Amino acid sequence: MTAQLAAFYVNAGILILAALRVITARNPVHAALWLVLAFFSAAGLWMLLYAEFLAVALVLVYVGAVMVLFLFVVMMLDINFDKLREGFLRHSLLAAAVGVLMALEMILVVGARTMAVPSPGAPPPGYSNTKQLGRLLYTDYVFPFELAAVVLLVAIVAAIALTLRRRKETRYQDPAEQLAATKAGRLRIVKDEPARGAPPAPEARSE
């Protein structure tokens, strides 16, 4: 078994395990962290396929941006983080093992690329998958690419329309009305008169 094949089996196994834990974990924070591990494993598989651009894009876009969005959503939920901190020491060994596992994946991928004998399907020297991907994307697949862009644009417009729709129970602010506000229209000074039959207010005495 070559180093590349061993790296493939390790990354594929971890990816399947992490994907299963994403849908079986009851804690949303744990599910998000397992999803990060799944993304790293998928990036390792892309590296083995000589698709460095897709691997880097997966890590930067999904792990660096989408997962931050997921964690913001989790933070907006009503989660008691004090209970999560109670088991920090108990789960520290598992967290360290996952970190070592992710580092081992990267070592296997990089080591397989540098130490193993290139496979028959390896690209020639000077090959750039980023350049080939761009050429195919904007020549042979330009129509599906533009169609996907239109679908995303429609989704953005629909999300904005659903967010800004008028609701009876929602209060809205009018910036023009706020800017046109004056002291006379906002403040009214009234003189409070004592009610009939009420005892007079005591006089203040200074000693």
Note down pLDDT in tens along the chain; length 207 residues.
Answer: 677 788 888 888 888 898 888 888 877 778 888 888 888 888 888 888 878 888 888 888 888 877 777 777 776 665 655 565 566 677 778 778 877 877 777 676 666 555 554 554 566 666 677 788 888 888 888 898 899 899 999 999 988 887 777 767 667 777 888 888 777 777 777 777 766 666 665 655 544
In sequence order, the 6+-apart residues with CB closer than 8 A to the CB of 105 are 7, 10, 11, 14, 40, 41, 44
Amino acid at 193: E
Task: Supply the pLDDT for residue 205.
Answer: 53
- CA-wise closest residue to 33 among 98, 127, 119: 98
Count Cβ neighbours within 10 Å for each residue of 172-206 and write b for 16 or more, e otherwise.
eeeeeeeeeeeeeeeeeeeeeeeeeeeeeeeeeee
Phi-psi region of 193 (alpha: psi -120 to 50; beta: other; left: phi over 0): beta
The pLDDT assigned to 174 comes to 77
